[in-house]
Amino acid sequence: MALLEIEGVSKAFGSLKAVDNVSFEVQAGEIFGIAGPNGSGKSTLFNIITGIPFGPDRGRVRLDGQEIQGRSGNAIAKLGLSRTFQRETSFDGLTVFENALIGATYGGAVKATAEAELRAAEALDFIGIGRAEFGRLAGELSVFDRKCLMLASAIAMRPKILLLDEPASSLTKPEVETSIGLIRKIAAHGITIVLIEHVLTFLMSLSQHLMVLNNGQILARGVPQEVIADPRVVEAYLGSRRPDL
Amino acid sequence: MGASAEILFGGLFQGSLYAMMAVGLALVWTTIGVFNFSHGVFMMLGAYLAWQFVDIGLPLPVVLPLAVVAMAGIGWLLQASVVRPLIGRSNIVLVVVITTLAAASLIENGVLELWGPRSKQIPPLLDGNTTIGGVGVSMHQIAIIVITPVILVALWLFLNRTRLGLALRAVAQNEDASLLVGLNVTALYGLAFAIAAALAALAGIFLGGYRFMSPVMGADPLLKALIVVVFGGISSISGPIFAAYLIGFFEAASNYYFGLYWTPALLFAVLILTLMVRPEGMFVRSSRSLA
């Protein structure tokens, strides 16, 4: 049984079909990539899976066999589904440690304060955020460090599956390389990853399976090398020639 | 010595009441992003509930927590009925001004119907008077001046040293991220309203032991709390506390030198000046924070 099953989900804003009858499965332990041009419905798809800020108009979302569509965002998070946003989204007025602690305490449902603190520290260590940074306000961090903090907060929740929305956006090339290493490390830790990115090189280096969306619909899916060779994908990205890798 | 002592005690007393009121307003604004115009009736209803409990023979040490807890529950209910259904609407700030004003009017008239128009008074926290620096001060006023900072410190400790406080501080900064880390945002909104109502009730009980109570007794403190949060900045907790005491001292000095007649006009001049010079408030950060 797949860890995440998406069955015929749709979301419309007025006459615009942002996500149109999309179905796919993500197996436990894999890194599943989702590509597509801007406005293809990638982030909307993440929104309707997580229920934040809205669920699907139609269709089913199952996590570990349990239907989650229609549940509140915080209830879905507690079932083991975590997400990061394209834009660095942290609690700017809280310290780095408090950001991770709140993930461990509420998302990870850890009752004991000492255990939650230990889990928060472990998550920050795992991502590579030094102890000297624990007391800094999240709002004072660089873009890259805030993206790392988002990952640490998500890891502190011990999720079954982590949805990453364009983790490489606004990063320098060395930072992108570090991010690739971090995502591999998280996956090796047993957390299933669904990754949105419109930079195909980033996705190709990480994904075991790749799905391309265009105009809210699935354009192609399968093994990454085959998907990017699909003429429909080439046309969606470039109009006429093969994506430059 | 007489003038400065009178201004000092008047400022500390008024500042204490305004701080209790303004912190509640700021807590609701910072977490939910709405201005609660029924905050004044929370104060009044808290005082009336306390009066009722005293009237049936309960001792004041029992009445205080009972009235405060009851008002926390009423605050929660009000949030659930006239604020929560509107969350997510683009015009929520304006709509909630109207719904909380309507709720305030209903509660005010309900209290008038239930308890009548005759003025009432709660027993003071401490009996007797004393003279400090040549100024006569009631022991009740001194008790309020001493107790209020203790309550505000307790609130700070709750926000900064407990799991629930951490959750409230988080939800005040980022609603979507709060949902993502498993926070029950709706329940936390209710909690913010409940704490605000409890603080307003305490302010009402304090005031009801000093002056006669009436169903409209919350209107003036709400107006003053509004001046305080505009002056200090509504998007934090510490800003309104500093501002409450400054406004309290300003009001006491104005009352002493210019009289009661001119004080409201001078306070509104402060309000207008603040809005013109620093509309975000004098002691505020750029982002919303329960600090």
- Which mean pLDDT values do the consecutive 10-residue runs of chain A (245 residues) have? 94 93 96 92 93 92 94 92 84 92 88 90 95 92 93 94 91 92 95 89 91 93 90 77 53
- Structure-token pair, residue A51: 């229920």
DSSP SS3 for A1: coil
Instruction: Round to the nearest angstrom and report the end-to-end CA distance of chain A.
Output: 34
Question: CA A191, A193, A194: angle at the middle one, nearest 5?
Answer: 160
- Using CA atoms, how far residue B178 sits from A106, B169, B170, B269, in Å, is 9, 10, 6, 39
SS3 A136: coil
What is the distance in angstroms between the Cα of A74 and the nearest Cα belonging to chain B?
A: 4
For residue B278, the model assigns a pLDDT of 86
What is the reported pLDDT for A119? 94
- Chain B residues with a Cβ under 8 Å from any Cβ in chain A: 88, 163, 166-167, 169-170, 172-174, 176-186, 285, 287-291
For Cα atoms B259, B264, B266, give the angle at the middle one, nearest 5 degrees. Answer: 85
Chain B residues closer than 8 Å to A107 by CB: 180-182
Residue A120, CA distances (Å) to A154, A161, A231 in order: 10, 18, 46
Which pLDDT score is estimated for A241? 55
- Identify the closest residue of chain A to B288 by CA–CA distance: A93
Structure token pair of residue B18: 């305004």
Q: Does A103 touch chain B (CB under 8 A)?
A: yes
Q: Cβ A91–B170 below 8 Å, yes or no?
A: yes
Q: Which sequence spans correspond to the domains of chain B?
A: 12-216
Q: What is the mean pLDDT of residues B226-246?
A: 88
User: How high is the pLDDT of residue B289?
Assistant: 67
Token digits for B290?
Answer: 């329960």
CB A138 within 8 A of CB A146: yes
Under 8 Å CB pairs connecting chains A and B tally to 85
CB nearest to B166's CB, from A83, A101, A154 = A101
Q: How confident is the model at residue B1 (pLDDT cuts 50, 70, 90)?
A: low
pLDDT at residue A236, rounded to an integer: 79
- Per-residue pLDDT, averaged over B50-70, amounts to 96
Q: Which residues, including other chains, have CB under 8 Å from residue B145's CB and lie 6 or more apart?
A: B9, B12, B13, B16
The structure's pTM equals: 0.85
The whole-angstrom separation of Cα A193 and Cα A34 is: 11
Interface with B, mutate which of A85, A89, A91 (most B CBs under 10 A):
A91
Residue of B160, B180, B235 best to disrupt the A interface, most CBs of A under 10 A: B180
- Confidence (pLDDT) at B291: 66
Provide the pLDDT for residue A243. Answer: 53
C-alpha B109/C-alpha B103 separation (Å) is: 10
Q: Name the residue facing A82 among B163, B172, B180 (closest C-beta).
A: B180
Test B182 with A77 for CB contact under 8 angstroms.
yes
Quick one: pLDDT at residue B236? 78
Tokens 């209903």 appear where?
B106
Across the interface, of B163, B174, B179, the residue whose CB is closest to A91 is B174
Which domains are present in chain A? 1-80+159-245 (3.40.50.300), 89-152 (no CATH)
Asked if A201 and A176 count as a contact pair (C-beta separation under 8 A), the reply is: no
Residues with Cβ within 8 Å of residue B67, at least 6 apart in sequence: B46, B49, B50, B53, B201, B205
| pLDDT, tens digit, 9 for 90 and up, residues B79-125 | 999 999 998 788 888 999 999 999 999 999 999 999 998 889 999 99
